[in-house]
Structure 1
């Protein structure tokens, strides 16, 4: 198979989606031309330039690092159209108007590279209709590619071919989207709104219809249909507000215009409440009002009867809350049999979606797996609808749905397909099996894609019912305690690296985790090539990403504090520091595979490993200030070391060390957390030589490859520095002077001043002359002393207890 090299991508249309797709391609280091119409006044590229500038202001941030906006090249169709020939992929992302898209295609088609992939980012227009007018060669290279908003954060991309699209084009694009851009690709059939919007918007319409029938408030419905069901916290109506009610109305209109023969067609009528909101410009979050409206600090909810906004607070009844905690089969049975309107509502929305996906599976997707992943990754459900059905008992639920259809309680009279009750699905107890997922067209269970890109995913996205490997049990266990599991990948040629996975809540680090980590290093030094620290929680069912480590386990340290006071904690801290040194000076490379949060002690473990491999959505920082403490696991020591190295590299004088420390001091004193792995690199937490991956499912494989590469290159741990030049008391005085201004201006509290001062003392090497030479133990002692001293203060104790009790930082 020949290499598919992406030199450059063009995005046509600098609107909301086009600009953000361009931004995320830049995150992935793919050069991008962002096209739009030539401006009538000012610079010809003014429209694209304005879009690029607006990207810097958006929240959530489209860029991993805001300054990367400079790498998007603005372009217009008048002056720059010939530049399309330089692009290997061209993505059209203009407004959802078939006529406008066709006009643009006629303009750009003659200028496309004859081998370029041409794709439309449409949320639901027919890809076949869009390709009308193309010659055969362009038809073969054209497809739909539907990113979800916001493109950086939403894992789903739908890939939609026409009957003319070459299979290799789809494979190349899926490989690019999966590995380079980090997405979960679902292949959809060319039907209105494809899979995710088709099922997801139907689900919302069903919720609206059933909420009206059972007389439930919008906020009440959101409390019922969010995290209690394992779905996005924004639930139904808040999600609609975030997406935009005009966008939702447009997707519904697409269904109205193209699905007249659908047995569920009456459900596609635009709900009166939605139509009224759109008509008066209440489009959701972007207009300041939709189903919800913020008034000062109060969020009010729309009363559909009066049309006025009223105080929120509608909640699930306590009985329903208890039912929703039951196992799937029991939960559905109780909801169906309980006469409470909230229970009847919930059973109804489950039934409606089960009915819909069964009737439409064959027309919208190749198999049931595509439906479940589309809804999980596109709408934030922890389990897809087919998974929910299968977990609750396939045959029993099917009978219940049939009873409701026959009784006229369902939203359509269409019967469930025969395959639901008879044949392989009924015999297997569901659509997902060890052989694959059910395809009604093929009349068999279809296995997963075998594209080479998926070989990098040691654990692919799990699907309930499939025979996927459980990362908490898979492989060859070397040893396992209540705190850690050390194991190897048991596949041939993959068993030479020890993998360490933590088992604590949020993967916090206590004595048991440290003991297990050191034991794994000792084992690796005896007979393996390397150690990789990787957490299986990064494969969370709904949306990929999870905590690498939330830091030191304060709860485990509390007994020592209760018995010996602040001094009683010192052995805990010293053990942590010595364990981190053991990681740093191990005779085999220790590579940390980071995803999600790496805070406090988790960040310090990462800093002292031989190399870091980080998923792009990694949020890294030394945040101990939040609990009134200083980093004391070697994080400040590493800051001092790196500053000394940086100063030495440019021949800076000893008295000039402060400028190399400033960023690290501010990071710790202000508890700054990176907004991405790219920003973590800019902040100094990742080195330029560290690896950033975009698909979290490739994180473990990449980390193992990096660890092997270090071993193959004859890895030796760094030599222990004994003469580290430090900034000393003059730098501490300079920092404290700026802190006094912040304190006196009431930007920080007296206790914040104290903590920041102790951080300054630790990173500057203590009360010594500038340029004095110290060793690591000296710097660690400064960290340790500051930590213990602060722990002895009342205000720090208040911060710790507040966090342990409420989960929120206390400012005092």
Structure 2
């Protein structure tokens, strides 16, 4: 097997997508050079330089660490084409015009290295047409690689070969995109707009059409087609605003220009309202107005009848809300189909339109049904794909209803469903693979080496493949945790509580897992099955479960529980086998503390880590502040500890949360030797390999040592800053109290500077402060506010 190592990437075009693709390469530690036209005035690389500077301002942030913008090399097509020779992958990302792309290709082709892969990030132009004019060798190394916006966060990349593209090139690129950039790759056929935009934009057009038919306003449609359907919570029209109405218009135009013989061609007409808004320069979020417009704090919606913006915020009918809460997909679909409520009929209609469309087009746009479902899940944020929804709701029954609507002239076109839909099947996904009409067979998933790293690949309904919550051999399980293994010498602890919050059951589970791991395993990994599906590592302590204890035994009853949590974390830190925390998503409060006590952390790039207890008027008391003092002393290496402690203090006192694992490393929540992984499906594999590496190297727990602290001197220095913030009106009196308490703990309390204290001393300070605050009325207000509204109370 030959190694395909991408030593350097070139991105051609420093527009929105090009600059952000370059940023994500830098996130993944891949050297990148970003090209654009030479500037007419000033420095020749001015256009690229402005794009690089702009990356630091964008939200959501394309860079995991803003300082990394400096690592993007700026270049222009006039002076720097020789740089292409050193690039193993060249991605073109200029505007969607065939003639412009061809002009650029002529310019760069002579400078592309003999083994480099050349790819276009077009969102819908024909890859085959783009490759015209290349010699046979370059044609064999050319393909489409379509990232979704924003490239750091959207999991989908569509890989589009031409008839001339070498298969090994695609396999190499899929490996790089999957592991290094952390993407979910779907291979698409070279048809207009490929898979996700073809089906997704059709879905949006069908939704607009049906909404007009049933007389529903944009806000109601968005409430119906967002989170209630397991889709992006922005719904339909809000999503269009975020994407940009001009971008949506462009994708629609590609369909109009290239799909004249499509039976659904009439639906590809640009909706009148969309044309009107684009004409008025209302392009959505980027221009401040589109289907919606923010006026002060209110969100208004466009009203096509009057041509004005009117108050928004209307919601779905209660009846339809109740139907959508039904857990059984077959009952839910039947209720929508049978209901006379216009909103329910609207929902049935958009389901029917989508099922009709994907059944008619599956054989031409994708190799198999799985690729359509993953394209919509990863590119449009759907929890389940359209074929999965159809299969879950009862394949034959739904097919019959769709056929009835087509025959009755209710569908968007009269093309019948293909014969394979009615061949007695009960779906398209089976344990053998997913249905491919073009091959007349069930196609299994690709088994590339990169997928051997994913013990639990993205699950697909009907495939019957084991997901992470059920795989392996269970050693112990209750409602809070599961302790299990995969017969490879590494024990796994998975949390089962909602958002993986830490209550008594999890604390007991931690103790059990450490004991079990020490008895017969190389080490322990803390990993939960939904980590890859946007779950949380742990959202912290379970405040709800503390209520009954508090109600029955008052404050006194809580203190032993806090001591137990501290002890559980200490046992983790000093376990005789390595414990590795596999972190993805939220690791807040107690979740951050749990992770900090592991021997090592393996974190997904999308990890949001912080000690956030001040939000509920408390201080961290699971050893987080103790660890801050320990880490600051270690970082200082004999220098002034206070300089290193200030950052840890500030992060805890302001409840700062990292916006990426890279930022968490900078903040000190992750250590320099912790591992950052880009593909969340590879988290478990990498965490286990870390356990083995530590075990193979003869792991011993850290020695229990005394900690040098800054004492009264450090406390006085930090407090002086807090006084300024309070007197300047930046923080409340209660925030001042919380900040002072955090400062006292991380400084080691009322002792001389340079004193040596034990970890237990610091834990006792944490617990004492926590208990005092729990009895404070202002803290109780914050806790109740958070539990009722989920938002921090500022008091």
TM over 0.5: yes
Pick the aligned partner of 1:662 from 642, 646, 650: 646
**Contact 2:493–2:525 (CA<8 Å) still a contact in 1?**
yes
Deviation at 1:329, TM superposition (A): 1.1
Deviations 1:651-691 (A, max 9, x none): 32xxx321110000001000000000000000001111000
1:785 maps to: 768
2:564 maps to: 575
1:539 maps to: 532
Return the alpha-carbon distance in structure 2 between the equivalents of residues 399 and 568 of structure 1.
Answer: 61
Pick the aligned partner of 1:445 from 439, 442, 445: 442
Matched position secondary structure for 1:478: strand
Kindly indicate whether residue 397 of structure 2 is the aligned counterpart of residue 396 of structure 1: yes
Return the alpha-carbon distance in structure 2 between the equivalents of residues 467 and 335 of structure 1.
Answer: 28
Matched position secondary structure for 1:561: helix
Return the alpha-carbon distance in structure 2 between the equivalents of residues 420 and 748 of structure 1.
Answer: 64
Return the alpha-carbon distance in structure 1 between the equivalents of residues 407 and 775 of structure 2.
Answer: 70
Matched position secondary structure for 1:598: strand
**Contact 1:566–1:789 (CA<8 Å) still a contact in 2?**
no
1:763 maps to: 746
2:207 maps to: 207
Pick the aligned partner of 2:586 from 597, 601, 604: 597
* Unmatched tracts of structure 2, length 5 or more: none
Match runs of 1:188-587 below 5 Å: 188-326=188-326, 327-422=328-423, 426-427=424-425, 429-490=426-487, 494=488, 496-540=489-533, 545-587=534-576
**Contact 1:368–1:431 (CA<8 Å) still a contact in 2?**
yes
Kindly indicate whether residue 696 of structure 2 is the aligned counterpart of residue 712 of structure 1: yes
Deviations 1:303-324 (A, max 9, x none): 1111111011221111111111
Deviations 1:523-547 (A, max 9, x none): 111111100000112133xxxx210
Deviations 1:545-567 (A, max 9, x none): 21000111112222232233333
TM-score normalised according to structure 1 size: 0.97
1:87 maps to: 87
Return the alpha-carbon distance in structure 2 between the equivalents of residues 112 and 503 of structure 1.
Answer: 51
Return the alpha-carbon distance in structure 1 between the equivalents of residues 147 and 767 of structure 2.
Answer: 48
TM-score normalised according to structure 2 size: 0.99
Kindly indicate whether residue 621 of structure 2 is the aligned counterpart of residue 621 of structure 1: no
2:46 maps to: 46
> Structure 1 stretches (4+) deviating beyond 3 angstroms?
none
Return the alpha-carbon distance in structure 2 between the equivalents of residues 482 and 349 of structure 1.
Answer: 38
Superposition RMSD on alpha carbons, in Å? Answer: 0.8
* Unmatched tracts of structure 1, length 5 or more: none
Return the alpha-carbon distance in structure 2 between the equivalents of residues 590 and 251 of structure 1.
Answer: 49
Pick the aligned partner of 1:750 from 723, 730, 733: 733
Kindly indicate whether residue 793 of structure 2 is the aligned counterpart of residue 804 of structure 1: no
Pick the aligned partner of 1:795 from 755, 769, 778: 778
Return the alpha-carbon distance in structure 2 between the equivalents of residues 759 and 584 of structure 1.
Answer: 22
Kindly indicate whether residue 171 of structure 2 is the aligned counterpart of residue 171 of structure 1: yes
**Contact 2:205–2:267 (CA<8 Å) still a contact in 1?**
yes
Return the alpha-carbon distance in structure 2 between the equivalents of residues 340 and 307 of structure 1.
Answer: 27
Pick the aligned partner of 1:642 from 631, 637, 657: 631
**Contact 2:532–2:584 (CA<8 Å) still a contact in 1?**
no
Pick the aligned partner of 2:758 from 765, 768, 775: 775
**Contact 1:156–1:378 (CA<8 Å) still a contact in 2?**
yes
**Contact 2:20–2:55 (CA<8 Å) still a contact in 1?**
yes
Matched position secondary structure for 2:300: strand
Matched position secondary structure for 1:324: helix
Deviations 1:409-459 (A, max 9, x none): 10011111111011xxx33x0000010000001101000001010000010
Return the alpha-carbon distance in structure 2 between the equivalents of residues 388 and 777 of structure 1.
Answer: 54
Return the alpha-carbon distance in structure 1 between the equivalents of residues 316 and 727 of structure 2.
Answer: 47
Deviation at 1:473, TM superposition (A): 1.7
Deviation at 1:250, TM superposition (A): 0.3
**Contact 2:468–2:529 (CA<8 Å) still a contact in 1?**
yes
Matched position secondary structure for 1:276: helix
Matched position secondary structure for 1:808: coil
Matched position secondary structure for 1:706: helix
Return the alpha-carbon distance in structure 2 between the equivalents of residues 676 and 484 of structure 1.
Answer: 27
Matched position secondary structure for 1:401: helix
| Number of aligned residues | 794
Return the alpha-carbon distance in structure 2 between the equivalents of residues 628 and 48 of structure 1.
Answer: 46
**Contact 1:640–1:763 (CA<8 Å) still a contact in 2?**
yes
Return the alpha-carbon distance in structure 1 between the equivalents of residues 508 and 726 of structure 2.
Answer: 41
**Contact 1:355–1:401 (CA<8 Å) still a contact in 2?**
yes
